[in-house]
Each structure stands twice: as C-alpha cells, then as structure tokens.
Amino acid sequence: MHHKQTSNESLSEYVSNSLANGQTQFASYFGTPNNNVPVVAEDKKIEGLVDQEQFRQQEAADSSFGEDSKMKPGQDILEQAQVAQHQDFQKQQEAGANAAAPADVPVPMQPAASAAAPAAPVVSKEDMAKMRKITPESSIGKYETDTIYNDTMEYIKKFSGKPGEKVKACMVSLVRNSEVHGMVNTIKSYRERFISKYPYPWIFLNDEEFTEDTKSKLIEALPGIDVKFGLVPTDHWSYPTWINQDTAAACRKKMGEDGIIYGDSESYRHMCRYQSGFFWRHELLDDYDWYWRVEPDTNLHCDVNYDVFQWMQDNNKMYGFTITIHEYLATIPTLWDQTKKFFKENPSYLNKDNLMKFVSHDQGDSYNLCHYWSNFEIANLHLWRSPAYRHYFDTLDRAGGFFYERWGDAPVHSIAASLFLPKDSIHFLKEIGYWHPPYNNCPIDDELFRSNNCDCDQNNDFTFQDYACGKEYYAAQGFEKPSNWERARS
Ligand SMILES: Nc1nc2c(ncn2[C@@H]2O[C@H](COP(=O)(O)OP(=O)(O)O)[C@@H](O)[C@H]2O)c(=O)[nH]1
Ligand SMILES: [Mg+2]
C-alpha cells in the first residue's frame, strides 16, 4: 500500500515511514553508513525504521535545547549568554545610554580607526585549495581539534583586514546566461548608485560556461571595472556520494505536487547548496575579505554615498542585510533539528553574545522562520570560511536536507550568522534602498530618503510588515523601532 504523507509528518519522516511500509524506491534514503565518519544520527535513523515512534522520541529528547531534565551544554551556554545580554542592556539603560538606538547611519569617509594595526595574515593558497575540496569525510572531526577557532569572530579578525586598513572587497553574482538582460539592468542601477563612486571588481559565477555574448554584454555594462568570470567546479554543483538521487527525485516530485515554491526544481537546490557552502570557496574570491551579493532583476533605490565595505570593516560589522522575511516551513522541516543537534555536539561555537532571539522565540527550542533575505548580502567571506561554519555546512550537507527537503541558503546563512557572531556585528543597512521582487527596503526615515535620493514608495517598505522580521530583529537587538515604524504596516 502506498503510504500517504500526513499533515504533521516531516518529509524525511514521510520517506522513512514509506520505507517501513515497503516502498522500496526509498530503500537507501539513509545512505550507506560510512564507518570512518561520524554521520549525524545515522544509526538512530536506521533504528527508527524498526521503531519509528521510539526514534522520534529519542530524536526530540536528544536535540532539544529547551527540555529541563537533560544535560544540554548548548542550553547552558545560551542561558548564560542571555543573562549577560540582559545585564548589559540593563547596565546601559541605568547609565542613561541610549541602548535602544542602533548604530547610526554611516557618514561618508570615516577616519581610519587604527592606521597602526598589523596586517592580517592572508589565508595561504594551500589552505584555500584545501578548503575548496569538499570532503566532509575528512573535514568532520578535524574541526573538533580546531579549538582556537571556536570563536568565529576571532577567526574572522585573524584572517580579515583590520579596521583602518584598505578593504579587499568584490561584488559577486551567480547568474545564468539566460539572465543576462536582468543582470545588465541590475548593473545599471548599481553603477548609478554605488559602483561609479566605488569601483570594486565584479565577479560573475555560473555552473555553465558563460557565452561570449553574455561576457561581452556584462563587460560592456561595467566600463572601467575589473570584471571576472568564473565557472563553478562540478563537485560544487552536483550530488555528494551519500545522497540517494532516486529519493531526492521522489522528494522533489512530492514537494512539487504539494505546491511548494521551487519544490520540484533540481537546479534551485544545487543553487541553494552552492550559495550556502561554496561560492566563498571559489578561486576568484580568494583575494577578498568582503563580498556584496547581487542578483539579476534587483536594484538599488537610493544612492549609496559611502564605501559600505570600508565602513563595515572599520566598524567590525560582519554581516549586513536589507530585508528580513519568514521562511516557508515546508522547505525546511528538519533544518532546526539538525541545527540543535549540531550545537548540542559543538556548544563552543555558539557565540555568547549571539542573536538567538532573532531566530527563535523560545530560547532555541524552535525556529521562528526569521531570516535575512540572502539575495542581498554584504558580508565577510571569512565568516563562511570559518571552521564553525564549514563544520555546520558539512553537517547539514550530510543530513541531506538540501536535496531531500529544499533548504535555502537564506535560513542557513541567517541561523549561522545569528548564532556564531556577536549580535553587534550583524547590521541592518537601513539606508540602502533595495528591491528584489516582490519586496523592498525603502528608508522610512524622511531625511535618509531625501538625502540619498531614493526613488521608492516608503509606504511599501517591507521592514515592519507582518511577513517580514523587522520587529523580531529590532527586539532581538534591543533596539527601539523608529517612531514611524507603522507607516508601512501591512
Ligand atoms: N548559474 C546559475 N545561477 C542560478 C541558477 N539558479 C539560480 N541562479 C542564480 O541564483 C540566484 C538566486 O536565484 P533566483 O532564481 O533569483 O531565486 P529566488 O531569488 O529565490 O527566486 C540568482 O542570482 C540566479 O541568477 C542556476 O541554475 N545556474
Ligand atoms: Mg532572486
């Protein structure tokens, strides 16, 4: 008999229940256990086939941050961090400081913070090459000994340019030949608003060769700019050995039938996995510390009158975003369980001053689906190159959800940034007006809107609309919302 998915059954449970019911096309869903690799709960999942209920109970008990009766190192750290956050907030308030105000909007050309800072050691070519090889078989386990790098911020500081140093940054776009027209339109907007003043190089990546026509159109669109084209290595855009492709196809079919956005798309899954785990390993990005992700068919609504990269480096901001939004639960049914398991096994990666409150309303027990919309990102590449993130990505990749579910790079990046980084290194670039269909960031501050020559409709600003996570972000940071925050409420 064909097993039908029930409403409260996750996709992976559905597949394993189907297997238990004799649907043999899923037979190797859980892969072949590799004895050399500490595979995430592989043994338990196999046990679970015998006793599904027992497996689920065990899984829930194992992975919970929030259950009182168990040893939960992650929870202890989290609680300490939250107490510390609370105390800091109180202290600032008692001192009369305006703890509620976010870091002010950057002014152009801030003075260099420390001209005397020693130059950061560059990640060696050899290490970069090692990083490019995706071998979770060898990399998992190794990270555990990398104790000096448990603190992701320390790792970034060690390898990235220091405040006051000239910033090493690039624009980066993953794009298909068929999207060249949309890309050229986007470039026009970025030239007018930013690149003409700050001529950073632009790197275009593609899983297929760029055609001569595409290349010439992009080069023509960026006169005077250093333009580079990169091919994505095949092993960064293909199935890892442990993924059962028949199962992946069955999951896609099911998600397509269920009407989940991009549910049936194979290329979208490779794209999300690539943006999560690989673009920052591309050889063309080796020379850079910072990137600005730009997609075709997006545009800037306002002039960017300062060098954002330099400002972020000078002010220790590691992840900058413009739009927040909730994720579709159906695309990530088991992402949070895997995340909890990861932090339970690796509690030292959790930053003590993290932004857990942005991604969870119950101290990490469940994911509230909030994320930074990653089609726009200005961030430090070493955040993703860090042992913590590589370990996290490899763990998720092993778990299979990029293919068996449809994990997006946005929730993956957002959870990692929110939990690995101190919260004051995450920054809402509220003055950068930005549009990715169907939402925008349009500065609701009239002075910002006017002085940056914005061309959007402030009444449409997405920041505080219900489906966005602006309210959650301001609350998590302990910032006070702008007085006119309800202006564009849905
Ligand atoms: N080279 C290449 N780029 C892709 C592919 N799929 C998506 N992209 C790029 O990945 C980014 C996100 O894709 P998009 O279709 O905009 O996804 P959405 O924003 O989630 O709707 C964009 O920059 C696309 O150009 C693909 O199969 N090949
Ligand atoms: Mg897009």
Ligand 1 atom showing the smallest separation from residue 179 Cα: 25
The structure's pTM equals 0.79
Question: For position 147, what pLDDT does the model report?
Answer: 59
Range with the largest mean pLDDT of 75-84, 213-222, 390-399: 213-222
Dihedral of alpha carbons 131, 135, 136, 140, sign: negative
Taking the CA of 272 as reference, the closest ligand is 1
| Nearest protein Cα to ligand 1, atom 27 | 267
Give mean pLDDT, residues 136-157: 67
Give the number of whichever ligand sits closest to the CA of residue 435. Answer: 2
pLDDT digits (tens, 9 = 90+) for 226-240: 999 999 999 999 999
Report which protein residue has its CA nearest ligand 1's atom 19.
375
The Å distance, Cα 175 to ligand 1 centre, comes to 6
Q: Which tens digit of pLDDT belongs to each residue from 28-56?
A: 211 222 222 222 222 222 222 223 333 23
* Catalytic residue of the set 377, 405, 431, 472: 377
- Pick the atom of ligand 1 nearest to 173's CA: 23
The larger pLDDT score, comparing residue 75 to residue 247, is at 247
Query: For residue 187, how far is its CA from the centre of ligand 2 (angstroms)?
Result: 15
Question: Tens digit of pLDDT for each residue in 414-472?
Answer: 999 999 999 999 999 999 999 999 999 999 999 999 999 999 999 999 999 999 999 99
Rounded to the nearest whole angstrom, what is the distance from the C-alpha of residue 275 to the centroid of ligand 1? 10
Q: Residue 156 pLDDT more than 90?
A: yes
**Nearest ligand to the CA atom of 276:** 1
| Known active-site residue 53 | no
In this prediction, residue 121 carries a pLDDT of: 61
Lowest mean pLDDT among 126-135, 285-294, 301-310: 126-135
Closest ligand 1 atom to the C-alpha of 267? Answer: 27
Of all protein residues, the one whose alpha carbon is nearest to atom 3 of ligand 1 is 175
Q: How far apart are CA 414 and CA 326, in angstroms?
A: 11
pLDDT at 138: 43
Q: Is residue 316's pLDDT more than 90?
A: yes
List the domains of the chain with CATH numbers. 157-477 (3.90.550.10)
Mutate to test the pocket of ligand 1, among 234, 268, 270, 376 (most ligand atoms within 8 A of CB): 268
Task: Quote the mean pLDDT of the chain.
Answer: 80
pLDDT band (50, 70, 90) for residue 149: confident
pLDDT score at 312:
98
Ligand 2 (ion): residues with CB under 5 Å are: 295, 375
Residue with tokens 């959870």: 415
pLDDT tens by residue, 271-295:
999 999 999 999 999 999 999 999 9
Q: Ligand 1 — pocket residues by CB below 6 A?
A: 174-176, 179, 206-207, 267, 271, 295-296, 375
Window from 169-178, 232-241, 262-271 with minimum mean pLDDT: 232-241
